[in-house]
Amino acid sequence: MALSLVGSGGVWMQRLAQDWLVLQLTGSPAAVGLAVALQFLPMLVVGPVSGVLVDLFPKRRILVLCQSVAIALAAGLAVWNAMGGSDVWVVYAACIALGVTSAIDGPARQVFVNEVVGDAGLPAAIGLNSAIGQLGAMAGPALAGVVIAHAGPAAAFAANACLGAAVLVMIAAIRPGELHHSAKAPDPTARKGRVLAGFHFVRARPRLLLTMLLAGLLGAFGMNGPVVLAAFADRVWQSGPAGFGLFNTVSALGALAGALVATRIKRFGRKGIVASAGLFGLTQSIAAVMPTQEWFVAMLVVVGFMTLVFLTSAATAVQLEAGAHVRGRVLALYFPLLLGGHALGGLLAGWLTEDFGVRTGLVVTGALGMVSAVVIGLLMWRSGRRRVQPQPSPRSPSDPTSRH
């Protein structure tokens, strides 16, 4: 699980450092938006193909290759920035390369859990791994912010290269002979093509599709922390970089608590997933109207807590419902939905904050999250009713009620 924490934290640390460096080089928020898009768009293109790779090839070998590329990117940017490099296209190229690498590494890392723990311990391991991975996604930017503030982007890239090397050592320490390679189940979607198998699998299961859609919507409306927290620190509380660092730290602490709680719940069920999504949006809206910075900070702990509870429950449900033969391809659809929503949500939060005010922007995105939870919950309820609706049984010729 340390592999997931360090690996996820390192990826998000790299993303924030790249965004900050683009802002330093160009002074343009639009250029930062392009950098964010370049990091996530490859997932939409490479995602379905990466799922096929994950399902067909050894996950350990894929992780070693992806991690080696990530280390090279981080180390290369560290040296280039320390030597005074100023061509923004270099950072853009690194953003694209990181996006492609993450599109393959993310599903492989999740499916690798099955090979480490085996089928018996899979449900608990998936929940724990998802929680720790999401915790790393919140802790990574917070760590990057501290390093950049004290030593600059080059130091953040160098630190991430060191984290990547630690992950590589962890992977190498896992002996291939100790992994659980379960027998491949027959693939019922093989006739529809390997790449499209994930699409067909999800489409045939409406509740799985709705769970993934809810994660994408909450990614768009709820996971806009860097934009919102920076705006609150700058425009509402006037606490500057110190306040921004504090806000990220307390959110990460809340996320840690959420991760610990989520891992103790064996299985949420659809009602729990929808409820945690609604509470996620509600706590954001409440945080937006807090009268003092102290109350705002306290609410950020709750927001971080609900973020991890929802993300962990959704990711666990998706992985447990996906068949072993197609799990990599399903996750290759889930991650682009979640992270693509996150990228679009940053643009939405920035527009609302700029045109309607910081508090209004967070209230609106929180309300949209609650509406999403209600709508998806109703659709799940209707889907469940259709599945359990009794079908009329055919009457036999001897049945007296069948006579006219």
Average pLDDT over residues 31-53: 76
Rounded distance, CA 189 to CA 16, Å?
39
Average pLDDT over residues 195-211: 85
The answer, yes or no, to whether residue 396 has pLDDT greater than 50, is: no
* Least confident range of 278-282, 353-357, 386-390: 386-390
166-189 tens-digit pLDDT:
888 888 887 777 666 554 444 544
Residue 278 pLDDT level (bands cut at 50, 70, 90) = very high
* Least confident range of 196-205, 255-264, 277-286, 312-321: 255-264
Instruction: Report, at the CATH architecture level, how domain 1-175 is classified.
Output: Up-down Bundle (1.20)
Contacts 24+ apart (CB under 8 A), 177-181: 179/60, 179/115, 179/116, 180/114, 180/115, 180/116, 180/117, 180/118, 180/119, 181/115
Query: How buried is 269 (Cβ within 10 angstroms: 0-12 exposed, 13-18 middle, 19+ buried)?
Result: exposed
* Least confident range of 3-17, 149-163, 200-214: 3-17
> What pLDDT, on the 0 to 100 scale, is given for residue 41?
76
Rounded distance, CA 75 to CA 79, Å?
6
Nearest to 361 by CA among 350, 374, 373: 350
> What pLDDT, on the 0 to 100 scale, is given for residue 126?
66
103-114 tens-digit pLDDT:
888 788 877 777
Average pLDDT over residues 212-231: 81
> What pLDDT, on the 0 to 100 scale, is given for residue 268?
65
Average pLDDT over residues 233-239: 83
> What pLDDT, on the 0 to 100 scale, is given for residue 288?
94
The answer, yes or no, to whether residue 400 has pLDDT greater than 50, is: no
Residues of the chain with pLDDT > 70, as a percent, come to: 80
Residue 287 pLDDT level (bands cut at 50, 70, 90) = very high
64-80 tens-digit pLDDT:
999 999 999 999 999 99
> What pLDDT, on the 0 to 100 scale, is given for residue 321?
83
Q: Where in the chain is the domain with CATH 1.20.1250.20?
A: 1-175, 196-387
The answer, yes or no, to whether residue 61 has pLDDT greater than 90, is: no
> What pLDDT, on the 0 to 100 scale, is given for residue 317?
84
> What pLDDT, on the 0 to 100 scale, is given for residue 3?
66
User: What's the whole-number average pLDDT of the chain?
Assistant: 79
Residue 390 pLDDT level (bands cut at 50, 70, 90) = low
305-325 tens-digit pLDDT:
998 889 888 888 887 787 767
The answer, yes or no, to whether residue 294 has pLDDT greater than 90, is: yes
The answer, yes or no, to whether residue 339 has pLDDT greater than 90, is: no
> What pLDDT, on the 0 to 100 scale, is given for residue 192?
47
CATH of domain 196-387: 1.20.1250.20
Residues of the chain with pLDDT > 90, as a percent, come to: 21
- Biggest alpha carbon distance in the chain? 93
